[in-house]
Amino acid sequence: MKLIEDEICPRCKATFTCSKSGKCWCFEIDIPTDIQDSISEKYDTCLCPDCLKILASGTEEV
């Protein structure tokens, strides 16, 4: 039994682990405020590391 269940990225459908009870990997990614706002408007849950890095870089639109 896992203590933390895998999440499914709403953008690419990949599975990943999100540490909701502590400091998650996503805190290590520098995301401009406008992109954070766009992500929050479009998605209700966390994104996988790959998608979050891609969107944070600005190479693809949210």
pTM of the model: 0.83
2-27 pLDDT tens trace: 666 789 999 999 999 887 666 778 88
pLDDT at residue 1 is higher than 60? no
Instruction: Tell me which of 33 and 25 has the higher pLDDT.
Output: 33
Of the candidates 50, 42, 54, the residue with the CA atom closest to the CA atom of residue 14: 50
Domain spans of the chain, in order of start:
7-57
Question: What's the half-sphere exposure (Cβ side, CA atoms, 13 Å) at 50?
Answer: 9
Average pLDDT on 35-47 reads 94
Q: What is the pLDDT of residue 17?
A: 86
Mean pLDDT of the chain: 88
